[in-house]
Amino acid sequence: MYTLSTIAFAFGLTLAAGLSTAIGGAIAVSRRNPGPAFMAVSLGFSAGVMLYVSFLEILPKGIEELQEVTMGEKSATFWGVVAFFGGIAIIAIIDRLVPEEINPHEPLNNNEAARRARLMKTGMFTAGALALHNFPEGFATFLAGLEAPSVAIPVAVAIAIHNIPEGIAVAVPLREATGSRQKAFWWATVSGLAEPLGALIGFALLLPLLGPTAMGISFAAIAGIMVFVSLDELLPTAEATGKHHHAIYGLIAGMAVMAISLLLL
């Protein structure tokens, strides 16, 4: 059974990671725009942390948990791999519900009211889609916080970094639609609450099942989710800045920092 302090720590990490969309909202409404090199390094760094910790820590931990349930090493590895790709399948299906980009190139009606209505619809749809997309990430962060705090902290930081552009994506069209910086900022912030909500709902539903088998499968699936997010979202976004080498340097730096932190802890 988890202590109250452990649950509070895990939830606090998840809440902080989710609410980093507020940083993106603040950037959007203040018209400050981080340079492409900074964004490439930051997103690459986040991907490096998530890839390294997924393959070197979270997936092996999941297989280790499965070995405790009278499974042999081969059987535990098999089910760990199945859960890993199951996690990828889950997040890939959810990802299909999220627009790859908000297309600004469609011809707009000259009528200002129509333009604002379109932007409002775009911003609200983006907020809802990203909230759905972030739901499993929240549970992943929360579960890592419960079981492996030393891993959970860098994972939470990595997720927080990649949530910042999501906050921008929500706030920009809503600011233009409403003319209100405050509303745009708060909607960007609210979209990040899906992560702590995912943590609470996932924990409430799975608490009776959180034995070694459930934990092992969950950790392996989380590793799959992290890998998919890194390869499908973070690295392509970093590359889209046009700063390829900065993205790769950030990726390697993220792996190196994660490796050193795990060696020291």
Answer yes or no: is pLDDT of 35 > 90: no
- Structure confidence at residue 128 as a pLDDT band (50, 70, 90): low
The answer to whether the annotation marks 195 as part of a ligand binding site is yes
Q: Are 130 and 6 in contact (CB under 8 A)?
A: no
Top pLDDT among 124 and 9 is at: 9
Mean pLDDT of 19-47: 78
Mean pLDDT of 101-130: 57
Q: Are 141 and 147 in contact (CB under 8 A)?
A: no
Q: Give me the helices (H) in 96-180, please.
A: 112-147, 149-178
The answer to whether the annotation marks 147 as part of a ligand binding site is no
The answer to whether the annotation marks 57 as part of a ligand binding site is no
DSSP code at position 180: -
Burial class, 52, CB count within 10 angstroms (exposed 0-12 / middle 13-18 / buried 19+): buried
- Structure confidence at residue 246 as a pLDDT band (50, 70, 90): very high
Tens of pLDDT, residues 134-193: 677 787 788 778 877 777 887 788 778 777 877 776 776 677 777 788 888 888 888 888
Say if pTM beats, i.e. exceeds, 0.75. no
Per DSSP, the three-state class of 264 is helix
Could you tell me the two tokens for 93? 């299906």
C-alpha 139/C-alpha 41 separation (Å) is 26
Could you tell me the two tokens for 101? 């980009």
C-alpha 65/C-alpha 106 separation (Å) is 51
The answer to whether the annotation marks 101 as part of a ligand binding site is no
- Structure confidence at residue 103 as a pLDDT band (50, 70, 90): very low
Could you tell me the two tokens for 79? 């089910």
Domain residue ranges in the chain: 4-105+117-264
Answer yes or no: is pLDDT of 223 > 80: yes
DSSP string, 42-63: HHHHHHHHHHHHIIIIIHHHHH
Could you tell me the two tokens for 42? 């930051």
The reported pLDDT for the residue numbered 173 is: 66
DSSP code at position 207: G
The reported pLDDT for the residue numbered 249 is: 95
